[in-house]
A and B are shown apart, each in its own frame.
Chain A
Amino acid sequence: MLDQFRRLGFRHVLLQVLNFASVLASGLAMWKGLGLLTNTESPIVVVLSGSMEPAFYRGDLLFLTNPPTSAYRTGDITVYNAPGGAIPIVHRVLETHDLVTKLTVDDVVVPQLLLTKGDNNQEDDIQLYNGLEYLERKHIVGKVNGFLPYVGYVTIAMNDFPQLKYALMGILGLMALIQRE
């Protein structure tokens, strides 16, 4: 493999590296651009828990937006980070309290207190809030607008079974070797 490189020439190798880097960079630019468009830091998320079954299963893909000027309503499905929470949680809004009296000139949207609950859970999420009684908008990453089943399971499998990651890399390496150019 090393003499393959030597045959191609050093400049050619650099060109390959540049191509690779520009693919990475444009991918990153598209991801961040999507985040700007939807006003959320994570416009596409994978469902990690079973607390929204039978609507969402682990491995499903969710498309989020975080409209800056409209309030959240009951029935919206939000992804939020509880303060001190380890992972973002995808649950439905159970209660909204619009503090219209606390609205200031600087506010883009009315400040709200929100309570959430997973469809598959018996009780609301207060246990998950680490001391808070309600969530505020700043805890919310976004609300779910779109759905794609199964597609995200690859990322969960890679995390749960690290052997899978190595097996995949091994297969790719093997294929690169046995391919006759």
Chain B
Amino acid sequence: MHSIYQRLNSVSALLSTCLLVLLGSIALTTYVHETHPSGTLEISSTKVKLGRMRYQRRMVETAHVKFNYNADLTSLFHWNTKQVFLYLTAEYTNAQGTQNEAVFWDRIVRRKEDANIHIAGGNKYFLKDLTRSFKNATSVTYSMKYNVMPWIGPLTWGEAGRTEALPLPPAQNTV
């Protein structure tokens, strides 16, 4: 410890150990915080259109869903929350027995002030089936899910709003 270099060296060694413990503790606080997000999801209308997408030859049935969503997600925001990724999924089983889940709307919530959500929205992304048709598919359950992304440590997922199974109407030809 007789030279500046040695003293600074041991400061950095102690600092590294302390930082490791600090970062670990901050990461663990993710699990300690009680979060109670609540939301209500309502589907206002669904339409299935037959058309082309992505400049392809074949016709594809796409579902267009309009929804209302009201939620209080403020409890998800604590010191280790970087952002909350909100996404709306449609879950159903198609005629061939394949179970599908597709995201057709999402939003990034970056601040606690933006965490009270009252929106009416619609598709951001295409909702389509592997077989390009929704014929004989089961009713669709819609679910609003979220992903809390931390500054340090583990990511957490959850759900804040779900509807009961609602059938899709038959396809309208729009071509």
Does A148 belong to the interface (CB within 8 Å)?
A: yes
**Which residue in A94, A101, A126 is a CB contact (below 8 Å) of B102?**
A94
The stretch among B63-71, B134-142, B151-159, B162-170 that forms the contact with chain A is B151-159
Output the nearest chain B residue to A55 by Cβ-Cβ distance: B149
For B85, the chain A residues whose CB sits under 8 A away are 55, 75, 92, 119
Does A73 belong to the interface (CB within 8 Å)?
A: yes
Output the nearest chain A residue to B159 by Cβ-Cβ distance: A75
> B115-147 CB contact bits vs A (8 Å, 1 = yes)?
000000000010000100000000000000101
Number of interface residues of B (CB under 8 A): 32
**Which residue in A55, A76, A96 is a CB contact (below 8 Å) of B100?**
A96
Does B99 belong to the interface (CB within 8 Å)?
A: yes
Asked if residues A55 and B99 are in contact (CB atoms below 8 Å), the reply is no
Asked if residues B103 and A95 are in contact (CB atoms below 8 Å), the reply is yes
Does A173 belong to the interface (CB within 8 Å)?
A: no
Asked if residues B23 and A148 are in contact (CB atoms below 8 Å), the reply is yes
Asked if residues B130 and A74 are in contact (CB atoms below 8 Å), the reply is no
Q: Give B144 Cβ to nearest chain A Cβ, in Å.
A: 11
For A96, the chain B residues whose CB sits under 8 A away are 100-102
Asked if residues B98 and A147 are in contact (CB atoms below 8 Å), the reply is no
Number of interface residues of A (CB under 8 A): 28
Q: How far is the CA of A108 from the CA of B130 in the complex (A)?
A: 23
Asked if residues A144 and B155 are in contact (CB atoms below 8 Å), the reply is yes
Q: How far is the CA of A93 from the CA of B85 in the complex (A)?
A: 13
From 143 to 165 in chain A, residues with beta carbon under 8 angstroms from any chain B beta carbon are 144-149
Output the nearest chain A residue to B156 by Cβ-Cβ distance: A145
Asked if residues A55 and B82 are in contact (CB atoms below 8 Å), the reply is yes
Asked if residues B151 and A113 are in contact (CB atoms below 8 Å), the reply is no
**Which residue in A76, A97, A144 is a CB contact (below 8 Å) of B99?**
A97
Q: How far is the CA of A96 from the CA of B100 in the complex (A)?
A: 6
Asked if residues B96 and A101 are in contact (CB atoms below 8 Å), the reply is yes
Q: How far is the CA of A144 from the CA of B150 in the complex (A)?
A: 12
Asked if residues B97 and A100 are in contact (CB atoms below 8 Å), the reply is yes
Asked if residues B108 and A145 are in contact (CB atoms below 8 Å), the reply is no
Does B83 belong to the interface (CB within 8 Å)?
A: yes
For A179, the chain B residues whose CB sits under 8 A away are 5
From 87 to 129 in chain A, residues with beta carbon under 8 angstroms from any chain B beta carbon are 92, 94-101, 113, 117, 119, 124, 126
Asked if residues B98 and A145 are in contact (CB atoms below 8 Å), the reply is no
Does B33 belong to the interface (CB within 8 Å)?
A: no
Asked if residues B110 and A54 are in contact (CB atoms below 8 Å), the reply is yes
For A145, the chain B residues whose CB sits under 8 A away are 154-155
Asked if residues A147 and B96 are in contact (CB atoms below 8 Å), the reply is no
Does B89 belong to the interface (CB within 8 Å)?
A: yes
Q: Give B88 Cβ to nearest chain A Cβ, in Å.
A: 10
**Which residue in B82, B130, B154 is a CB contact (below 8 Å) of A113?**
B130
Chain A residues within CB distance 8 Å of chain B: 54-55, 73-77, 92, 94-101, 113, 117, 119, 124, 126, 144-149, 179
What are 23 contact pairs spanning A and B, CB under 8 A? Answer: A55-B108, A55-B149, A74-B89, A74-B101, A74-B103, A75-B103, A75-B157, A77-B155, A92-B85, A95-B102, A95-B103, A96-B101, A98-B99, A117-B125, A126-B54, A145-B155, A147-B149, A147-B152, A147-B153, A147-B154, A148-B152, A148-B153, A179-B5
**Interchain residue pairs A-B with the least CB separation, the first 3:** A98-B99, A101-B97, A95-B102
